[in-house]
Amino acid sequence: MKYIKKIIEKIKKRRLKKKKFSYISLIIKDKKYIKKKIMEEAYEFCNESKKNFSKRKFVNEFCDLLFHSLLLFEIHKVSFSLVKEEMNNRFKKKPI
């Protein structure tokens, strides 16, 4: 989970800096675009599992999906820790 925290920190920093040509800054401004992008990445992720399966491409597509999902969390100001909490509730185990 440390890597997710680092990504979230980077997203927050870029959002605050509001660089004109930062991908994160540009995409955060447009909720419609980020939603379309997540749908595209979800499709590519699922599609990658059907083709001549490549672990590398499959993992790359998942990373794209995760990254863009984290952007949407930031747009809605939802803490990713709620995901951890929800997963713990669903599996009723010791905290992850």
Q: What is the pLDDT of residue 30?
A: 85
Confidence (pLDDT) at 17: 83
Three-state SS string over 38-56 comes to HHHHHHHHHHHCCCCCCHH
User: pLDDT tens digit string along 18-73?
Assistant: 777 788 888 888 889 999 999 999 999 999 988 678 899 999 999 999 999 999 99
Q: Domain 2-91: state its class.
A: mainly alpha
Spatial contact of 80 and 8, defined as CB atoms under 8 Å apart: yes
pTM over 0.85: no
Which tens digit of pLDDT belongs to each residue from 60-83?
999 999 999 999 999 999 998 999
pLDDT of residue 59: 95
Q: What is the pLDDT of residue 26?
A: 85
Q: What is the pLDDT of residue 6?
A: 93
Helix (H) or strand (E) holding 24: helix 23-28
Q: Are 30 and 21 a contacting pair, CB within 8 Å?
A: no
Residue 8's nearest CA partner among 87, 68, 85 is 68
Q: Where are the domains of the chain?
A: 2-91
Q: Judge whether 70 and 8 are in contact, CB under 8 Å.
A: yes
Residue with tokens 């920093």: 13
pLDDT value of position 37: 96
Q: What per-residue confidence (pLDDT) applies to 25?
A: 84
Instruction: Output the CA–CA distances (angstroms, integers) from residue 50 to 36, 46, 54, 80, in the order listed.
Output: 21, 7, 10, 29
